Amino acid sequence: MKKIVLATDLGGTNLRMAAVSSSGEILSRVKYKTPRSENAQEIVESMAKAAKECMATVEDCEVIAIAAAVPGTINFEKGLIFKAPNLPELDRFEMVKALEEKLQIKAILENDANAAAIGESWLGASKNVNNSIMVTLGTGVGGGIIIEGKILRGIDGTAAEIGHINVEPEGHPCGCGSFGCVEQYSSATAIVRIARELIEREENEFSKISEKEDLTSADIYEIANEGDDIAKEVFRRQGYYLGLMLAGLINTLNPETIVIGGGASAGWDLFIDSLKEQVKIRSYCEPANRAKIEKARLGDDAGILGVAKLGFEKV
């Protein structure tokens, strides 16, 4: 009988689950809206429902584990979520215990950016690479670091929060309590904020940015591609700050590959030059020349495939 892992990517908006084989084949998948309430158990109930639906369409399979990627800091060994800023009902929640009680199978928990790093190193842009850094550019900036083939967790499991590396000493306040974190300059949220700031400062009512009310980072990318200078400047800054962060990480970790993914990496062609320029100026020559900077290849499935891989490893 084919062994499978039920792999879940729990986001602030959607809960996605897939039945994944040991070779990384996705046999079935479902997508729900993430339930919003003050009760964490509702998310567990929703995952149980998704698991049942996922299994209904696959035949002759044995489920060996359920593995969940969650948007927050976690303790891997204890299966505990420390803090999930976008799903606060999960703060201090023992997710593994709750899933094992509900589903009566082995459960595994991982941070979403770590899961994406594992996924890309299993089947994506950093395949067969032992030292890599994954950068996810979404609502925030997430990171996963793989050293000598192992995910870097730190003593409590909270390592690799690279989005909160400081790149502006007196910069914009950040949700983490600090200010000037790279998340405040290179995430999708930051792209929109910086575009608005530039428009205000330069009083440029001719920019198309000032015409739109519900501005998104995708809108700004489109406007930049039409040649708008302010929109192009927003992406130049996104790359500049990412370059500052990566220069430090390259000097510290000497990675072979850096993978950049997430929705706000769509502006790649507009930010990559300023990113590479900063890496070249600020890091040592040998590690900077060594580090390949690659686009993520697995898209939304990186996290699902990453936790599935962990599931097969841990059971």
Q: Site residues (CB under 5 A) for Zn ion?
A: 164, 174, 176, 178, 181
In the bound complex, what is the minimum distance in angstroms from residue 264's beta carbon to Zn ion?
A: 16
Q: How far is the CB of 235 from Zn ion (least distance, A)?
A: 21
Shortest distance in whole angstroms from residue 300 CB to Zn ion: 25
Strands of the sheet containing 61-70, edge to edge, are 26-33, 14-21, 2-10, 61-70, 107-111
96 versus 174: smaller Cβ distance to Zn ion? 174
Cα end-to-end span (Å), the chain: 16
| Least distance (Å) between residue 203 CB and Zn ion | 30
Nearer to Zn ion, 64 or 176 (CB): 176
C-alpha–C-alpha distance, residues 17 and 305, integer Å: 10
Q: Regarding beta strands 292-295 and 14-21, do their DSSP bridges make them parallel or antiparallel, or are they unpaired?
A: unpaired
Neighbours of 275 (CB within 10 A): 26
Q: Which amino acid is at 60?
A: D
Calpha distance 153→159 (Å, rounded):
5
Closest distance to Zn ion from the beta carbon of 161 (Å):
8
Residue 71 · residue 86 · CB < 8 Å: yes
Nearer to Zn ion, 186 or 274 (CB): 186
Cα distance between residue 279 and residue 297, in whole Å: 22
58: left (phi over 0), alpha (psi -120 to 50) or beta: beta
Give the DSSP H or E segment for 285: helix 285-290
Q: Which residues pair with 151 in a beta bridge?
A: 146
CB of 164 to Zn ion, least distance (A): 4
User: What's the chain's length in residues?
Assistant: 315
Give the residues across from 116 on adjacent strands. none
The nearer residue to Zn ion, 141 or 305, going by C-beta atoms, is 141
In the complex with Zn ion, the residue whose CB is nearer, 171 or 263, is 171
Residue that has been written with the tokens 């395949």 in this structure:
127
Q: Least distance in Å: CB of 207 to Zn ion?
A: 29
Q: Which is nearer to Zn ion, 2 or 83 (CB)?
A: 83
Residue 185 or residue 312: which is nearer to Zn ion going by CB? 185
